[in-house]
Amino acid sequence: MSQPCVNIGMVGHVDHGKTTLVKALSGVWTDTHSEEMKRGISIRLGYADTTFRKCPECGLPGGYTVSNKCDQCEAETEEVRTVSFVDSPGHETLMATMLSGAAIMDGAILVIAANEECPQPQTKEHLMALNIIGKKNIVIVQNKIDLVSREKLIEHYKQIKEFVKGTVAENAPIIPISAQQNTNIDALIAAVEDIIPTPVYKMDRPSQMLIARSFDINKPGAPIDRIAGGVVGGTLTEGVLHADDELEIRPGRKVESEGTTKWIPITTLVTEIFAGRHKVKEATPGGLLAVGTKLDPTLTKSDTLTGQVAGKPGTLPPTHHQFTLELHLLERVVGVIDEEDIGVIKTSEPLMLNVGTATTVGVVSSARGDVAEVKLKRPVCARIGSTVAISRRIGARWRLIGMGVITD
């Protein structure tokens, strides 16, 4: 398997079949944590890689597959490209996790179950999240077609068309599939090849990686099991990372001393890099990496470093303890039955903010029209001009209410 070159998100309402579809495409069942297995839902982000292949003999889309032999004529297939999947949880309480995953998606497959009315609340909320953070390359799948009649399927297709009108997915292809029965997976791969290209990366810049997971060693769910120090997992957004590079991680480590809290950047050495299930000497952007470091594993265990940024020392974006946001709010709350008006952001209001893979809570210190200043409970490392997804606490849940751009 080559190094993955693109991250494809699986998004959509709970139980609509995202993890089953990742399994159909990659052979990997990403729900491996005991709590996920017990409850039957995804809780964390899941990752899996696969290589899309094509039959040199058969016409498209029939020629696309993930196996070495063509499903139709049994000819040897040729490699097209290796991709990484980022499997989001669909449960309404896990939007922060979905948003953190969305930051590293180059495009997404919106999974909609054909045996339920469309849209379901998180079908809407996940599409809105992609809309807000500017992810435009979307393929829609109408899953579980084995459970509905042809007439119902056509009716459901019309519901999807109506729902996506005016959104970023208005012209997205809609592919009917059964992830469980492996039906029409070739047509889905053809659509992904058409709609989600490999991005053009800036390889000549210093390396920069968004951390989406971190582990100590040999834990269930870790993508690898042979690395000696702490492991960070995520995606390189630019530059090239080498197996013996120095690495800086920001904001870094929280240190309390004499009643004050400081965040100190961490520096370490890269010891090993795994990409596409292989150990590699250097990694380029796109796809998901697991990076072994010389860090004490207690610093990386249980996703402690998720949301931080790693890269060449001295080149990372600034750490913000507060920032000014130019606001772009939605009109109404999505993802709930009663879609109340959002109105304005008020001083002293707490907000959940997703910046890259980081999730933090901030309190609004001043708000005037389309501008808000926010003090963060936990700092974030981000460039001026970065996009921030903004959620407000409504009832017991954080609900997406819009986006902001960091201006200061």
Ligand X SMILES: Nc1nc2c(ncn2[C@@H]2O[C@H](COP(=O)(O)OP(=O)(O)OP(=O)(O)O)[C@@H](O)[C@H]2O)c(=O)[nH]1
Sheet holding 46-54, edge to edge: 64-65, 46-54, 78-87, 7-11, 107-113, 138-143, 174-176
Min dist. Cβ of residue 93 to ligand X (A): 11
Q: 112-137: b or e for each residue (b if 16 or more CB lie within 10 Å)?
A: bbbebebbbbbbbbbbbbbbbbebeb
Q: What gap in Å lies between CA 16 and CA 64, rounded to an integer?
A: 24
Min dist. Cβ of residue 154 to ligand X (A): 18
Task: Give 30 or 308: the residue with its C-beta nearer to ligand X.
Answer: 30
Task: Give 14 or 175: the residue with its C-beta nearer to ligand X.
Answer: 14
Min dist. Cβ of residue 111 to ligand X (A): 6
Q: According to the annotation, is 23 in a ligand binding site? A: no
Q: What gap in Å lies between CA 390 and CA 157, rounded to an integer?
A: 31
Q: According to the annotation, is 401 in a ligand binding site? A: no
Q: According to the annotation, is 146 in a ligand binding site? A: yes
Q: What gap in Å lies between CA 21 and CA 185, rounded to an integer?
A: 9
Q: What's CA 189's distance to the chain center, in Å?
A: 19
Task: Give 16 or 320: the residue with its C-beta nearer to ligand X.
Answer: 16
Min dist. Cβ of residue 180 to ligand X (A): 3
- Which residue, judged by CB position, is nearest to ligand X in the bound state? 90
Task: Give 33 or 277: the residue with its C-beta nearer to ligand X.
Answer: 33
Task: Give 178 or 207: the residue with its C-beta nearer to ligand X.
Answer: 178
Q: According to the annotation, is 58 in a ligand binding site? A: yes
Q: According to the annotation, is 377 in a ligand binding site? A: no
Min dist. Cβ of residue 127 to ligand X (A): 15
Min dist. Cβ of residue 358 to ligand X (A): 22
Tokens 């936990």, residue? 378
Q: According to the annotation, is 34 in a ligand binding site? A: no
Task: Give 14 or 342: the residue with its C-beta nearer to ligand X.
Answer: 14
Q: According to the annotation, is 278 in a ligand binding site? A: no
Q: How would you classify the pairing of strands 138-143 and 174-176?
A: parallel
Min dist. Cβ of residue 130 to ligand X (A): 16
Min dist. Cβ of residue 77 to ligand X (A): 24
DSSP 93-126: GGHHHHHHHHTT-SEEEEEEETTS-S--HHHHHH
Q: According to the annotation, is 84 in a ligand binding site? A: no
Task: Give 180 or 271: the residue with its C-beta nearer to ligand X.
Answer: 180
76 DSSP assignment: B
17 closest CA partner among 7, 5, 30: 30
Q: According to the annotation, is 15 in a ligand binding site? A: yes
Q: What gap in Å lies between CA 307 and CA 274, rounded to an integer?
A: 20
190 contacts 61 by C-beta, under 8 angstroms: yes
Peptide bond before residue 318 is cis, with ω within 30 degrees of 0: no
Task: Give 21 or 70: the residue with its C-beta nearer to ligand X.
Answer: 21
Q: 210-224: b or e for each residue (b if 16 or more CB lie within 10 Å)?
A: bbbbbbbbeeebbbb
Taken as a whole, the chain contains a residue count of 408
Q: According to the annotation, is 180 in a ligand binding site? A: yes
Q: According to the annotation, is 381 in a ligand binding site? A: no
Min dist. Cβ of residue 19 to ligand X (A): 3
How far is CA 117 from each of CA 124, 255, 337, 357, rounded to the nearest angstrom? Answer: 12, 50, 14, 31
**Chain contacts with ligand X (rule: CB under 6 A):** 14-20, 41-42, 89-91, 143-144, 146-147, 178-180
Task: Give 8 or 353: the residue with its C-beta nearer to ligand X.
Answer: 8
386 contacts 404 by C-beta, under 8 angstroms: no
Give the annotated binding-site residues for Mg(2+): 15, 19, 40, 42
Binding residues for Zn(2+), by number, are 55, 58, 70, 73
Which residue ranges are tagged as binding site for GTP? 15-20, 143-146, 178-180
Give the annotated binding-site residues.
15-20, 40, 42, 55, 58, 70, 73, 143-146, 178-180
